[in-house]
Structure 1
């Protein structure tokens, strides 16, 4: 929807959003979401550890896609070079602690909610 022009992204929308350095994180979300679901639901009643592993794996995928895309777009497309050090610091180190905490929270909530949701179906 955002690529079609609806303003759902933080910086507006439209096809030009593909050239934003942060677009790689959105690609990573798509892939990471799928992988997270596959890992989490390989068993009927996923444990906290399985849900946490799934969340952390998905998070890792998001960051890998996001950082690689950010580097390529900045250094080869828009002409705003960024070295690996600052990219790693600003694109990973500063934000990953909060994201890891959210993975723990999500796994904890998932462990409690999945049985309730399945019972309701």
Structure 2
């Protein structure tokens, strides 16, 4: 159980990454049912820096804060109705992506730029594997829009590829520079 052995320092880091994810939602470019934001950078960073359990916990807290009504989702939204938003599946994907990224990075040894890049690609794919079907289900079954799976992939994935590749590169560079500093300061554990 993570709660039994969690330090104050770890709690602060979890809260920090939940807050950073919320901050990443502030800059929003509405291009359809799923806006462009900086949010997906922070589950990647949380997994790489905090590890699987704490990284996933930070994203779970972020999602729960939004569900209870805090305006932490893209466009300053929040509340239980957010569950019926076409983009909510991506937020659920953040939790699993942070866990998977953390788990892979825990087993990967010393993180290099290339390792971080590849791990983040895997995490980003995880977000889309949850986000795209959720987008389709909400648009098609809940909102009654006549869309195809191919169209859901176009509006929920293809449009985001260039920006996501850029964000993954930025995260890999940040991780490569920040993780050694955090370890030297004993803010995160060593591998």
Global fold match (TM > 0.5): yes
1:29 corresponds in structure 2 to: 94
The superposition leaves residues 4-54 of structure 1 with CA deviations (integer Å, 9 ceiling, x where unpaired) of 111112352211110111100001111001111111222442122221111
1:85 CA displacement: 2.7
Q: Distance in 2 between matches of 1:94 and 1:82?
A: 16
- SS of equivalent residue, structure 2 residue 107: coil
* Distance across 1 between alignment mates of 2:108 and 2:133: 32
Q: Which residue of 2 aligns with 1:9?
A: 73
Cα deviations across residues 85-106 of structure 1 (Å, max 9, x unaligned)? 3222221111111111111121
TM-score (norm 2): 0.59
Instruction: Count residues in correspondence.
Output: 121
Q: 8 Å contact 1:39–1:50 — kept in the other structure?
A: no
Residue 56 of structure 1 corresponds to which residue in structure 2?
A: 121
CA RMSD of the aligned region, Å?
1.4
In structure 1, distance between residues paired with 2:87 and 2:95: 14
Distance 1:7 1:113 in 2: 29
Which sections of structure 1, spanning at least 5 residues, go unmatched? none
Unaligned runs of 5+ in 2: 1-64, 187-191
1:78 is displaced (CA, Å) by: 2.1
